[in-house]
Amino acid sequence: MKIELRARSFDPLLEVGFYQSGLGELPGQCGATAIFIGTMRDFNEGEAVHRMMLEHYPGMTERHLQRIVEVAAREWPLLDALVIHRVGDLQPNDPIVLVAVWSAHRAAAFAACRFIMEELKSKAPFWKREETASGPRWVEHNTPG
Amino acid sequence: MKIELRARSFDPLLEVGFYQSGLGELPGQCGATAIFIGTMRDFNEGEAVHRMMLEHYPGMTERHLQRIVEVAAREWPLLDALVIHRVGDLQPNDPIVLVAVWSAHRAAAFAACRFIMEELKSKAPFWKREETASGPRWVEHNTPG
Amino acid sequence: MTIDVKYFGSLRDRLGRAEDRLDAVGELTVAGVWVALHPETPLPLNTLTAVNMECAEPTQTVRDGDEVAFFPPVTGG
Amino acid sequence: MTIDVKYFGSLRDRLGRAEDRLDAVGELTVAGVWVALHPETPLPLNTLTAVNMECAEPTQTVRDGDEVAFFPPVTGG
């Protein structure tokens, strides 16, 4: 299991491939990989967004991400999980979050990946400030999944 | 939207990256990518499996995969979708199926990815024959997701 | 009329061949195609059928030139 | 006792600073920490609170050395 905050842009597919290649015992046992990638859009709530700042609470954010993944691993039979989340300044099309989950069976992989994303969006301490044509604005709440 | 059958082993992450790089208008609109990768395990129903043959019905299989993706695209607001499915001889750890779905929002991406997988498993004409220590055997039915 | 018949999966293995061609006269259903080709072998339980690559009921009537397929439950993905 | 106080997101922007330090005597709750530092400003609706990086109710008592945080609803992912 790995949780990581990144201050710079990252390639989610490369990250999954790289992490996976280090999982020696996984091949053969793993029947299902579920991956979610959240990407910054260039519009939100009807307005063009050309930049975004992702603030977090150093220490608390990592702790809560870790806990979310641990809860998922108790709930479903996971072989492994990887969560990477951006912080700092982002541009449209930049990856914001990656959740990858490995399991023997697809039901567990799908459910755990979804669970981690929903928990992360509703509980992990991150705050988005968008730069729009009419100035900066804080995103007030996340939409339910 | 792309549907493909592959007679040789493929790298699902590379395929997603390659396909994605060809989607010119997608950046900026896409907020969510959901990916599922099904991989051949080295055990099934309590027995070690060292090889597998995936039979299909040429023509009917492609048609039904295409239809499943079209139904998903009518049900959810998808920006794009990619489905690649192996046929022929596989070894443990070989990817069997890749489903990737792009959407503005995560709920649609998750739901459509899951839907395509479940439909594919229950309706697309594929048949698995496993090689085990006690000889070859046909997989009789898929487990529900 | 002539019907092309295909078998897949374990059914193909069991029959020892992947296809048959049936020349017949009169009205015939999908189930009737099976009976005409395998008079001694009842259609195995759970067998699925397709006509021209679309899922079909065993009661569906076939026409000259149709492709009829018999196969066990699917196990892809 | 000394309490380290942190603000995040729009709340940090509104207050114009990311942290405060509060020196106080007697029993104090999380809500009391806010009142002591911002006597003129009611705690904005929907504000979430944490003590030592764990979510906390405004009624929770704080202790010397605690880190108390105030922030708006989270919007990550």
Q: pLDDT tens digits, residue range B84-131?
A: 999 999 999 999 999 999 999 999 999 999 999 999 999 999 999 999
For A87-100, what is the mean pLDDT? Answer: 98
Among D9, D50, D77, the residue with its CB nearest the CB of A55 is D9
Distance, in Å, from the CA atom of C9 to the CA atom of B140, rounded to the nearest integer, reads 10
Query: Is residue D49 within 8 Å of D57, Cβ to Cβ?
Result: yes
pLDDT at A27: 76
| CA torsion through residues C66, B124, B9, C18, sign | negative
Q: Is pLDDT of A145 > 90?
A: no
Pinpoint the alpha helices (H) of chain B: 12-21, 60-75, 106-123
Q: Show the CA angle centred on residue A79, arms to residues A77 and A80, nearest 5°.
A: 120
pLDDT at B9: 97
Q: Which of B78, B110, B35 is nearest to A12 (CA)?
A: B35
The nearest CA of chain D is from the CA of A74 a distance in Å of: 21
pLDDT at A23: 87
For B66-74, what is the mean pLDDT? Answer: 98
- Look up tokens 């048609």; give the residue: B63
Beta bridge partners of residue A98, listed in sequence order: A37, A84
Q: pLDDT tens digits, residue range A63-72?
A: 999 999 999 9
Q: Which of C43, C47, C44, C46 is nearest to C33 (CA)?
A: C43
pLDDT at A126: 98
pLDDT at C4: 98
Query: Is residue D73 within 8 Å of D46, Cβ to Cβ?
Result: yes
Q: Is pLDDT of A25 > 90?
A: no
Q: In chain D, which residues touch A (CB < 8 A)?
A: 6, 8-10, 12-13, 50, 53, 69, 71-77
Distance, in Å, from the CA atom of A109 to the CA atom of A106, rounded to the nearest integer, reads 5
Q: Which of A78, A140, A72 is nearest to A103 (CA)?
A: A78
The nearest CA of chain D is from the CA of A86 a distance in Å of: 9
pLDDT at B142: 87
pLDDT at B1: 95
C59 exposure class (CB count in 10 Å sphere: 0-12, 13-18, 19+) = exposed
End-to-end CA, chain B: 24
Q: Is pLDDT of B144 > 90?
A: no
Across chain B, mean pLDDT equals: 96
pLDDT at B28: 87
pLDDT at B92: 96
> In the structure encoding, which two tokens stand for residue B49, read together?
């499996």
Contacts of B22 (CB under 8 A, 6+ apart): none
Q: Which residue of D has its CA nearest to A55?
A: D9
pLDDT at B25: 73
Predicted ipTM?
A: 0.95
Pinpoint the alpha helices (H) of chain A: 12-21, 60-75, 106-123
For C28, how many CA atoms within 13 A lie in the half-sphere containing its CB? 23
Query: Is residue A49 within 8 Å of A134, Cβ to Cβ?
Result: no
Query: Residue A120 and residue D69: Cβ atoms within 8 Å?
Result: no
3-state helix, strand, coil in chain A (%, to 5): 30, 40, 30
Dihedral over alpha carbons A106, A109, A115, A118 (to 10 degrees):
-100
pLDDT: is A142 or A102 the higher one? A102
For A119-142, what is the mean pLDDT? Answer: 96
Contacts of D8 (CB under 8 A, 6+ apart): A55, A57, A125, A127, D18, D69, D70, D71, D72
D73 contacts in A (CB within 8 Å)?
A: 140-142
Query: Is residue B110 within 8 Å of A36, Cβ to Cβ?
Result: yes
Q: pLDDT tens digits, residue range C20-73?
A: 999 999 999 999 999 999 999 999 999 999 999 999 999 999 999 999 999 999
pLDDT at B7: 98
DSSP A20: H
| CA torsion through residues B54, B56, B62, B66, sign | negative
Query: Is residue A43 within 8 Å of A119, Cβ to Cβ?
Result: no
Q: Is pLDDT of B45 > 90?
A: no
- pTM equals 0.96
Q: Is pLDDT of A10 > 90?
A: yes
For A26, phi then psi, to 5°, come to -70, -45
A45 band by pLDDT with thresholds 50, 70 and 90: confident
**Cβ neighbours, 10 Å, residue A85:** 25
Q: Which residue of B has its CA nearest to A37?
A: B33
- Look up tokens 């293995």; give the residue: C13
Q: pLDDT tens digits, residue range D6-63?
A: 999 999 999 999 999 999 999 999 999 999 999 999 999 999 999 999 999 999 999 9
Q: Residue A134: helix, strand or coil by DSSP?
A: coil
pLDDT: is A81 or B27 the higher one? A81
Q: Show the CA angle centred on residue D52, arms to residues D50 and D56, nearest 5°.
A: 30
A28 band by pLDDT with thresholds 50, 70 and 90: confident
